Amino acid sequence: MATITVQPGPRKGVISVPPSKSDTQRALLCAALAKGESVIDKVGNSQDEQAMLQAIVDLGASVTPQGNGKYTIVGIQAFPKNVEIHVHESGLGARLLTAVCAAGQEKITVTGSGSLISRTMEFYRDVLPQFGVHLFDFNGHLPITVQGPMVGNNLEIDGSISSQFISGLLLALPLAKGVSHVKIKNLASRPYVDMTLKTLHAFGIEIEKESTDLYSIPGGQQFTPTNYVIEGDWSAASCWMTAAALGADLIISGLSASSAQADKQMLAALMSAGCSVHVTSEGLRVNGTNKQPFEFDANDCPDLFPALVTLAAYIPGKSILHGAHRLIHKESNRAEALCSEFLKLGITIEHLDNELHIHGKSTIKGGEVQAHNDHRIAMTLGICGLFSKDPIVIQGSESVSKSYPTFWEDLDALVH
């Protein structure tokens, strides 16, 4: 387990955020399903993105790196027989690939490693058989072995556990035999589903949104090859935006103001905390001079919790974050991890039902903390260390490689 020490002190510089791993994984899989040649540009080098690249190769796509994050992808002609797809620790990869593999006629196993093995996949046990899919020796977690083909159906589905399952179905059902009408109740993280629909549209797939939660999905569609550029990652940017709000002199570049990413809601969260956001030709700046305790509903953007907890920790008074039930099924139980690690730094966080109540202070002591094998916990503790009274020592710092392998290098590159 790697350890890193973050020294407090002012920081200044330009941060170019990495590509969105959520956007990347969707685009790579769509390109693999298109019979022809696509070019995907600005693919990142995180573990999750590289796992998806390998997965589509294992499914029969041809992937040729062109350098600087650009890949040429020739789509799958037919799924291989009895293949095992390994997604490592990518929850999104597991859920997208399981559904897509279930659309084919071959028996395919999706497996993973680390904390992903304990994350639930039970949604598919309840739903996939209703689309004609066979599951083999499945216990609710990875590995999962599926065999289609999928047949369209009319179904009401609970979307409260994770939008990733819904996105998986939206990717797979256009390949099914016949039309599907899917009504989703209690949909969590709706913006991620909207991102999926946007990517599908770019690859020629049409899904009709008949009402807010009712989707009509014609089967037998064909994915169309295209050239696709990955957006900058608002999730990764949230840490740097927090750092800027707390006093770091940063310009954050590479973000799209028209993005469908859920974590663009970081802008609204910052404004609710009294911060101002300025967009220049160079990038985005945040001023937190007038920051104040805040209340924010992060139900649709749960990946913002770590960054927002760090922001709230440095604002004297009580801030409240809603949507804490969304933190249980992540790389760690993020609610528990945030409460335990910030307590080591002298900050009390109460987990009350669906809320986190953060009791912020003007100063935070340093200390030794754990990342819980969770990339977002590691990164937010790193940002916290820029402003603490004493250094913060983070055990498990290597976990950032899941989404942002160069995070510590980017932090070190800032002028201190």
H-helix or E-strand spanning residue 85: strand 83-86
Whether the per-residue pLDDT at 326 is higher than 80: the answer is no
Q: Is it the case that residue 161 has pLDDT exceeding 90?
A: no
Q: Domain 21-229: give its CATH code.
A: 3.65.10.10
Mean per-residue pLDDT, 263-278: 97
Task: Identify whether 410 is a catalytic site residue.
Answer: no
Interval 232-257 mean pLDDT? 97
pLDDT recorded at residue 21? 95
The token pair at 96 is 């997208």
pLDDT band at 189 (very low <50, low <70, confident <90, very high): confident
Burial of 376-388, coded b for 16+ CB within 10 Å and e otherwise, reads bbbbbbbbbbbbb
CATH number of the 3-17+232-413 domain: 3.65.10.10
DSSP secondary structure letter of residue 306: H
pLDDT of residue 93: 98
Q: pLDDT for 93-125, tens place per residue?
A: 999 999 999 999 999 999 999 989 999 999 999
Question: For the chain, what is the mean pLDDT?
Answer: 95
CA dist 57 to 52, 77, 329, Å?
A: 9, 12, 28
pLDDT (mean) for 173-195:
94
Cis ω on the peptide bond leading into residue 302 (within 30° of 0)? no
Arithmetic mean of pLDDT, 398-406: 96
Give the number of other CB atoms < 10 A from CB of residue 137: 8
The answer on pLDDT for 407 being more than 70 is yes
Residue 257 is predicted with a pLDDT of: 87
User: What pLDDT sits at residue 329?
Assistant: 58
**What pLDDT score does 330 carry?**
56
Distance between CA atoms of 305 and 298, rounded to whole angstroms? 7
For the stretch 213-229, pLDDT in tens is 999 999 999 999 999 99
Instruction: Note the pLDDT tens digit of each residue in 17-56.
Output: 999 999 999 999 999 999 999 999 999 999 999 999 999 9
Give domain limits for the chain.
Answer: 3-17+232-413, 21-229
Catalytic residue, from 23, 303, 374, 410: name it: 303
Give 415's DSSP letter.
B
Q: Do domains 3-17+232-413 and 21-229 have the same CATH topology?
A: yes
